[in-house]
Structures are given as structure tokens and as C-alpha cells.
Amino acid sequence: MKKKIAILGSTGSIGKTLVNILKKNKNEFEIVLLTANKNSKELLKQAIFFDVKNLILTNKKSFNKIKKKKLPNNINIFNNFHSIKKLFKKKIDYVMSSISGIDGLEPTVEIIKFTKLIAIANKESIICGWNIILKELKKNNTKFIPVDSEHFSIHYALKEKQIKNVENIYLTASGGPLINLPLKKFKKIKISQALNHPNWKMGKKISIDSATMMNKVFEIIEAKKIFNISYSKLNILVHPKSYIHGVVKFNDGMIKIIAHDTDMKIPIFNTIYDNNFIETKEIDLKKLNNLNFSKVNFKRFPLVKIISYLPDKNTLFETLIVSANDELVKLFLNNKIKFTEISTILFKFLRSPEFIKYKKIQPNNVENIKKLNEYVRFKINQSVYK
């Protein structure tokens, strides 16, 4: 019997990687839903190849444009995620949630009840709404698997082990494109420099987060929530080769080191296949013989200090961090602020009395998160353009 699956965000990098994996074993799967924001051309191409009957295109302009085209008779296209309830008569086997940004939270929460397993690549969903997601997972007996290479590696390392047996978890960080840039040159960092990641091909937002190491702060928050472990047991190791993705030290003295090529195809493949074969490169002995681990230099990556600000419980403070950083990165990419101002402005907001109170407020629903997200973005822009 074919595995029934849905891909939220099928035209993004994670979605397209999964689609390419599925193409090689097309007859094993039935894709019941594909979604995108604007890329109607790619979405339709995927739908025709896999004979997908249901599509969601959330951008109004793109939706109206595609509706004017003559579509194959069997394709139904919707403009929002409210239609999810109508599409599933019973649980499907697998969902990939890879819509980027906070926009991915609501559809992630909505679709949990309709799937046996959900793979989540949307970090904002986990960071901002983990308690809401966890509640839905438990309520609907839905399994969860993380997609990020670091979190999947830790998940993989913990097979047959309990979190209570873990002494420390280490997530690795490449250090990004600025790892060797002299600190005195940081005030004049160009956008092109910050986007030039040496190991990974990524979008602009995540590339800047890698340059500031904010991506690793987010991954520490995710790890704390996913694995239900205290921040005191979570650490970052700088590893420029990006070959090791996670290290777990157990309290019996054993250490597991998880390595794989710098290719997201590997963790994505393993979320949908269990003990199956994937063609990969030979073990890279040069990289293994020169792992070059080091601790984080806070002068080079000041945003890593945010970890010490984090409350132990799920709160709206995490949404504040995500939204403020997202808006500041946009401002940098639009040449409105300097690279170093991403951290200085963000710390100013996190220390302000207006926002410190969110450390004690738990998100009760998606609407709480969306409202704070909009307000924080407004306040960031107000402070920059005043």
C-alpha cells in the first residue's frame, strides 16, 4: 500500500529536497497535498508529476493568477489552510512541515490531527509554539521527528537511550562566513560577505543568522524543547568543517558523535524512510582527522549570550527573540542598519521593561504568538526609523 503524505512548503529548499527524494521512488507514495506561498509554477509542476489533487497557494495574487489558468480537471486549489479539515477523511502517514517563518506555525498545529507522523523543519513553530504543538501531538497520538541536521542527529543518537541518561549535548556551528574576519572589520561588513556561507547553500535569512550565530541560539532553544532537557546541559561547539552535527555525552561515560555530509538530503531522507539505503559519499577521513572544535568567542558572536537570558519554561519571550531578530535581519539586508546593529538593537529590546515581562507569559494559542510577532516587528521598525 502506498504511503499517503503531505508537504507543507513544497517549493522551498526543504520541500524541494523531499520532492526530489520521492521522485526516485514515485510508486511508493501518494502525495495528497502540496502547499506553497507564491511559487505557483513550481507547485503546479510538482502536482502534475505526482498527480496531486489538492494544492494550497496562500499568496492572494499568485492564487488569483493561477485560478485564471486552465488547470487539469483533477486539481483542486485553495487559498488558505482552513481547507485542511475538508481534505482528510482519516489520518495520512506522513507530513513534512517546512513553511518558513512564524507563518508555518498555524498550519503545523492544524495538520497534526490528520497525520500519524509529522516531520517539522520550521524552527519558528518549535521555538514559539512548542507547548501548543506538544499538546496536539499527545492529544492526537501523532509522532514527531525533527528535520534540522543537528536535531535529527541528536534524535538519532538517542535511539534506545533515555534523556535522563544524558550528561551533555553539543550542537556544532560552522562559524559561518565571518569566522576568520578580524573583529576590527566587523563594523564594515557588507551584505555579500555575510551571505557567503562556506559550507551550505541557504536562503538569505538563514545565512545571516549563521553569520551572527543566531541560528545556533535558535537550535539550542529547539533542542531544549524537543528533548526536554535543561539549558545547562546544552552547549555549542564551533566546527568549521560542518561534518559533525551532534555530540551526546551520556552519564555512563559513553560519547556518541554523529557525522554526515553537508547535505540536508540525509536527515530529510531519514524522516520518511526507516533503515533504507541512500547513496552518499565515502567517509571523509581528512575531516575526521581535523575536526578542529573550539568554544564560541562571544566577542565575535555576541548573540550567543542570549542563551543566558532564556526562561526555563515555554514563554512568549522566545517569540520576541524570533520576531525581533527576523526584522533586524531584514533591515540589514535592505541596507537600513549595520551588521553589528543586529545584536546591539536586539539586546536593547530584550533588556527593556516592556518586553522582559514576556518571560513569565506562556503562549496559550497561535493568536497570542501572531499578535506579539506583529507588535515586535512594528516596534523594531519604529526604533530604527524614528
Instruction: Give strand ranges (E) for 233-380.
Output: 234-238, 244-250, 255-259
What is d(CA 386, CA 383) in angstroms, rounded to the nearest whole number?
A: 6
**What integer is the mean pLDDT of 9-21?**
95
The CATH architecture of the domain made up of 311-386 is: Orthogonal Bundle (1.10)
What is d(CA 158, CA 228) in angstroms, rounded to the nearest whole number?
A: 13
Q: Which residues contact 69 (CB under 8 A, 6 or more apart)?
A: none
What pLDDT sits at residue 349? 93
The answer on pLDDT for 89 being more than 90 is no
The number of beta carbons lying within 10 Å of the beta carbon of residue 179 is: 18
pLDDT band at 61 (very low <50, low <70, confident <90, very high): very high
What is d(CA 95, CA 142) in angstroms, rounded to the nearest whole number?
A: 11
What pLDDT sits at residue 70? 78
What pLDDT sits at residue 386? 67
Bridge partners, 17 (sequence order): none
Q: What percent of the chain has pLDDT over 90?
A: 78
Q: Is the dihedral of CA 126, 30, 73, 47 positive or negative?
A: positive
**What integer is the mean pLDDT of 302-330?**
95
With CA atoms as reference, report the closest residue to 56 among 81, 89, 75.
81
pLDDT band at 6 (very low <50, low <70, confident <90, very high): very high
Q: Which three cell numbers stand for residue 117?
A: 507522523
What pLDDT sits at residue 48? 92
The set of long-range contacts for 373-376, using a CB threshold of 8 Å and a minimum separation of 24, is 373/102, 373/128, 373/319, 373/322, 373/323, 376/319, 376/320, 376/323, 376/324, 376/327, 376/349
**What integer is the mean pLDDT of 181-206?**
87
**What integer is the mean pLDDT of 292-314?**
94
Is residue 35 within 8 A of residue 104, CB to CB? The reply is no
CA dihedral 33, 222, 128, 355 (to 10 degrees): -160
pTM, entire model: 0.94
The answer on pLDDT for 200 being more than 80 is no
Q: What percent of the chain has pLDDT over 70?
A: 99
If one compares 92 and 27, the residue with the highest pLDDT of the two is 92
The answer on pLDDT for 247 being more than 90 is yes
What pLDDT sits at residue 27? 87
What pLDDT sits at residue 344? 96
pLDDT band at 68 (very low <50, low <70, confident <90, very high): confident
The answer on pLDDT for 65 being more than 90 is no
Is residue 266 within 8 A of residue 272, CB to CB? The reply is no
Tell me how far CA of residue 5 lies from CA of 88, 95, 350, in angstroms. 11, 6, 40
Residue 147 phi, psi (nearest 5): -105, -35
What pLDDT sits at residue 86? 84
What pLDDT sits at residue 18? 96
pLDDT band at 197 (very low <50, low <70, confident <90, very high): confident
The CATH architecture of the domain made up of 3-147 is: 3-Layer(aba) Sandwich (3.40)
Of the ranges 10-19, 66-75, 254-263, 356-365, which one carries the lowest mean pLDDT score? 66-75
Residue 314 phi, psi (nearest 5): -70, 120
**What integer is the mean pLDDT of 225-230?**
95
Is residue 122 within 8 A of residue 100, CB to CB? The reply is yes
**DSSP annotation of 38:** S
The answer on pLDDT for 115 being more than 90 is yes
Residue 148 phi, psi (nearest 5): -45, 140
Bridge partners, 5 (sequence order): 31, 94
What is d(CA 349, CA 355) in angstroms, rounded to the nearest whole number?
A: 7
What pLDDT sits at residue 24? 87
The answer on pLDDT for 199 being more than 80 is no
pLDDT band at 73 (very low <50, low <70, confident <90, very high): confident
Q: Is the dihedral of CA 26, 8, 126, 84 positive or negative?
A: negative
Sheet holding 94-97, edge to edge: 76-78, 54-57, 29-36, 3-8, 94-97, 117-120, 143-146
> Domains of the chain: which residue ranges?
3-147, 149-308, 311-386
Residue 53 phi, psi (nearest 5): -90, -25
Taking only the tens place, the pLDDT of each residue in 329-381 is 999 999 999 999 999 999 999 999 999 999 999 999 999 999 999 999 999 99
Taking only the tens place, the pLDDT of each residue in 116-168 is 999 999 999 999 999 999 999 999 999 999 999 999 999 999 987 788 999 99
What pLDDT sits at residue 202? 74
Residue at 362: amino acid letter: Q
With CA atoms as reference, report the closest residue to 343 among 306, 383, 290, 374.
306
Helix residue ranges, H only, 236-302: 265-272, 285-288
**What integer is the mean pLDDT of 280-291?**
90
* SS3 assignment, position 198: coil
